Amino acid sequence: MEASPHEHEPENEREPIPAWSLPADAVDRIRLRHKWPERVTREWAWGEAGGEGVSVCILDSGVEAAHPLVGEVAGAVVVSRGEDETTIVEEDHEGDLCGHGTACAGIVRAIAPKCDLHSVRVLGAGYTGSGPVLLAGLRWAIEQGFDLINMSLSTTKQQFAGLLHELADSAYFKRTVLVASAHNMPVESYPWRFSSVISVGSHEETDPLTFFYNPEPPVEFFARGVGVDVAWMGGGQLRVTGNSFATPHMTAICALVLGAHPELTPFQLKNVLYLTATNVGGDV
Amino acid sequence: MSDDRFRTTVAAAVVGAEEAHRALLESIVQVARSIFSAKGSSIWLLDEEADELVISAVARDEERHLLGLRMPSSQGIAGWVLTTRQPIVIEDVQSDPRHAKDVAERTGYAPQGLMAVPVLHGERVLGVLQVLDRQTRFSLGEMDLLGMFGNQAAIALDLLQRARRAKAVLEEGEVDIAAVAALAAQLDELEDDRRAAGLALLQALRDLLRE
């Protein structure tokens, strides 16, 4: 099925050409049309924007579409593996198998109400094979050209680290931003440790728009992740804690920024996030 | 030492190890329950062959009937924690009617709230550690603490799984292992010079194999 690709215009009007080198007469070609103000504020970064025109993919356990806190789901697919290890992507009619994807979708909807939500279900069909399904689902989501992919999950399997790294880098260059949950346990896990993704840990404050830049990586940002009221299965609600709920907060803030500035590359988006972080310049 | 006696000695050590590790797992859930002032705590172990989670330790005697209880490996909160490797805290589970009913039907007890962390050993995920129904609100520091308990459980589970594999090998009496066991038993019965010569020969064999 088709997902809505990037609908915004790139920085330059024509199709962007990778600039392998920059001859003198080509400087004009990469001139940035959108001037940034001397001081980047939240008012400039997103103002009254609600994430309009931004496509957000929830790569998780599915999303319960009829939930009042989630609203319309623009597209939902389930990813599985065929007998010959092929990837099967089918329309998903089951919704959410454990409630988690619905919770993430509800958080994004609450902060960026005008964004388009898409669900790619990669969890719930058994532990065995969950790694290849996750990779296949991520690859499919990147191919669709979603603006943002929320990954409130990670894998510890070394065998997937290289492939995940390649996928994360390809997403970065194709202007799809991966927002991934960091681990608060001393383990090597992915994809949050890759510098091409936005990695998120939790803070304990209650304001959904409070987020901190972390000058001590690998975790890049801290967002709200403690005592969050979220949508859950069966039209219900729960109060939850965990980095997996801080992540959709950051995804939603990215949606707000991209809604107001669709021309931003992932690199520029990270710059805006840094400049508007609560501990940098976000209080003005 | 005869082959049979050698096997018996090793088997006894392995069986003893299994019991000691069970006690260690139980101690972990008991301490977790106590530290977090919770009603219960349990460890779900992943059975990779069956692709299921199995309750392998509980904190309270009245929960002992839950030992061995199984569920599909990616269902429910524990399944989500296992497949995503992400810790989670849920308050007021009851407002998730499907989950509460499902759990109550299986265990006879539906918790109000729970915290769960993956039990990770290196790149392997071995299971899930849960703490049920805390008295007070949860903080991030406590999640880190539960993660540390998860690590301790991971070490115990890893040892337990090794012991089980060793036991299975002994019971199945694999030809290769049996031959090595017989050799070790014969060597053990030698004395003085012959024993020293035998050990030197084994050392030479190890050096050869290392190359």
Same domain, B149 and B73: yes
Same domain, B139 and B50: yes
Higher pLDDT, A57 or B175: A57
Q: Which residue of B46, B93, B95 is in closest CB contact with A127?
A: B46
- In our burial notation (b when 16+ CB lie closer than 10 A, e otherwise), range B190-210 reads eeeeeeeeeeeeeeeeeeeee
pLDDT tens across B19-28, in order? 787 888 899 8
Angle at A31 between CA A26 and CA A34, to 5 degrees: 165
Q: Residues for chain B: how many in total? A: 211
pLDDT for A102 equals: 95
Q: Give the residues across from A91 on adjacent strands.
A: A77
CB contact under 8 A, A126 and B73: yes
B192 and B163, same structural domain? no
Paired tokens of B13: 């050590």
Question: CA A259 to CA A253: how far, in whole Å?
Answer: 10
Is residue B45 a contact partner of residue B157, using CB atoms and an 8 Å limit? yes
Taking contacts as CB-CB distances below 8 angstroms, the residues of chain B near A204 are: 139-140
Strands (E) in chain B, as ranges, are 38-47, 52-58, 70-72, 88-91, 114-121, 124-134
**Predicted pLDDT of residue A88:** 93
A234 to B98: CB separation less than 8 angstroms, yes or no: yes
Using 50, 70 and 90 to split pLDDT, how confident is the model at B210? confident
Question: Averaging pLDDT over each range in A216-225, B1-10, B164-173, which range is the top one?
Answer: A216-225
The pLDDT tens digits for B36-95 are 889 999 999 999 899 999 999 999 888 888 899 998 887 778 888 998 888 998 887 666
CATH of A47-276, one of 3.90.105.20, 3.40.50.720, 3.40.50.200, 3.40.50.10490: 3.40.50.200
Which chain B residues have a beta carbon less than 8 Å from that of A227?
91, 137-138
Is the ipTM value over 0.85, yes or no?
no
pLDDT of A2 reads 45
Do B122 and B200 share a domain, yes or no?
Answer: no
Return the closest-CA partner of residue A124 out of A112, A135, A134: A134
Domain count, chain B: 2
pLDDT computed for residue B114 by the predictor: 87
Question: What digits encode the pLDDT tens for the residues B104-131?
Answer: 666 666 777 889 999 998 888 899 999 9
Rounded mean pLDDT of chain A?
A: 90
Residues of B in contact with A225 (CB under 8 A): 140
Q: Does B118 touch chain A (CB under 8 A)?
A: yes
- Please indicate whether, in this complex, the C-beta atoms of B88 and A126 are within 8 angstroms of each other: no
pLDDT for position B127:
93
**In angstroms, how far is the first alpha carbon of chain B from the final one?**
31
B162, B192: one domain? no
pLDDT, averaged in runs of 10, over chain A (284 residues): 48 60 82 89 94 97 93 95 87 88 97 98 82 94 98 91 96 97 84 96 96 95 95 88 96 98 96 97 70
CATH number of the CATH domain containing B121: 3.30.450.40
Could you please report the per-residue DSSP string of A146-162? -SEEEE---B--HHHHH
All residues at 6 or more sequence positions from B179 whose CB lies less than 8 Å from its CB, including other chains: none
Determine the residue of chain B that is closest to A202 in CA distance.
Answer: B140
| Token digits of residue A206 | 């209650």
Report pLDDT for A1.
Answer: 44
* Structural domain that includes position B118: 3-171
Count A/B contacts: CB-CB distance under 8 Å. Answer: 134
- A218 to A39, A132, B6: CA distances (angstroms): 27, 25, 51
Residues 83 through 142 of chain A touching chain B, CB cutoff 8 Å = 97-100, 123-128, 130
Determine the longest span between alpha carbons in chain A, in angstroms: 61
| B156 and B198 part of one domain | no
pLDDT digits (tens, 9 = 90+) for A211-227: 999 999 999 999 999 99
Closest chain B residue by Cα to residue A203: B140
